[in-house]
Amino acid sequence: MSSANAPDLSRDDGRTRREAVVRLVFFVCAVLSVLTTIGIVLTLLSDSVAFFAEVSPVQFLTGTSWSPANDPVNFGVLPLVTGTLVITIGAAAVALPIGLLTAIYLSEYASDRARSVLKPALEVLAGVPTVIYGYFALVYVTPALATIFPTIDTFNALSASLIVGIMIIPMVSSISEDAMSAVPDSLRNASYGLGATKFTVSTSVVVPASVSGIASSFILALSRAIGETMAVTIAAGNTPRLVDLTDPAGVFLNSIQTMTAAMVQLGASDVTGQSIAYKSLFAVGLTLFVITFAMNLVSEWIASRYREEYR
């Protein structure tokens, strides 16, 4: 065999070494991600176990008063959980319908030019610092709401719910639009061939076919709302209050406190590092972790249960 036709072994060896280095980098990144998650969970568990050694888990989960650093000392997490749920429900009422309708428009009605402009513009909302959203709610949204509800507090759940809902719209619309765009055009064309209108195709064919992705976007967006910190701390205040189901309107007009806001308040206070009040911060964090982890598991189950496979 002539030298001109001989394979270039040095080039193949160089490519193999580069691929091995890239593979190693990816593996290290994956391991670091797993180790970071394990470290966070172990930190939460260790301090939470120390907390529950002094405070009964039943008292913590069923108590209706939260005042870890003031007399009388109480460690009932229910006011924080209900406050978090109020914000989440209010945000869902804003983000889920608007995000879904936006996704339908981008996927089925918008031209390529309009989609190339509108989708990045929506995703810019996700890049705005959450503290800016919080101050926007406090300075602009709350005064506007005061013209409709004169008795509204300066810090209130309604303003926080609206602003968090706006924050998570890009997540709902982007993931839902991606799921709808993955639906094959053959399904759309078959419906058009049967005489269906564009609205019927969008709502009766495309949306049901992409329900797994849409449901996942809903749950991930709600998980984002549950874990929001600065916006709700600034807009909703720091008043732990158990939700009064007999007066739901009053709940949204009053100041409340979420689990994340309580963690910020405790972390910024002058409680000592080994005090029971400080350890309660990790107990609240563990509770929040369990809730969001459960929601992510539900999201994965829905995605795998209702995922459509197209061939």
Instruction: Indicate left, alpha or beta for 21 from its phi (over 0: left) and psi (-120 to 50: alpha).
Output: alpha
Residues 168-176, mean pLDDT to the nearest whole number: 90
Whether residue 43 is found in the same domain as residue 85: no
Which residue segment(s) compose the domain that 78 sits in?
Answer: 60-306
pTM of full prediction above 0.95: no
Check whether 1 has a pLDDT greater than 70: no
Distances (CA, A) of 77 to 14, 41, 42, 171, 186: 59, 20, 21, 29, 52
What CATH number does the domain containing 85 carry?
1.10.3720.10
Residue 4 lies in a domain: no
pLDDT at position 32: 94
pLDDT at position 92: 92
Residue 311 lies in a domain: no
pLDDT at position 308: 57
Whether residue 47 is found in the same domain as residue 119: no
pLDDT tens sequence across 258-300? 898 888 888 777 776 678 888 888 899 899 988 888 888 887 7
Nearest of 90, 119, 92 to residue 221 by alpha carbon: 92
Check whether 184 has a pLDDT greater than 80: yes
One-letter amino acid of 17: R
Query: Does the N-terminal peptide bond of residue 72 adopt cis geometry, omega within 30 degrees of 0?
Result: yes
Number of domains in the chain: 2
Go through the chain and tell me how many residues it has.
311
Mean pLDDT of the chain: 84
Coil, strand or helix at 237: coil
pLDDT band with cut points at 50, 70 and 90 for residue 54 = confident
Residues 298-308, mean pLDDT to the nearest whole number: 72
pLDDT tens sequence across 196-205? 888 888 888 8
Whether residue 100 is found in the same domain as residue 233: yes
Token pair, residue 132, equals 């800016």
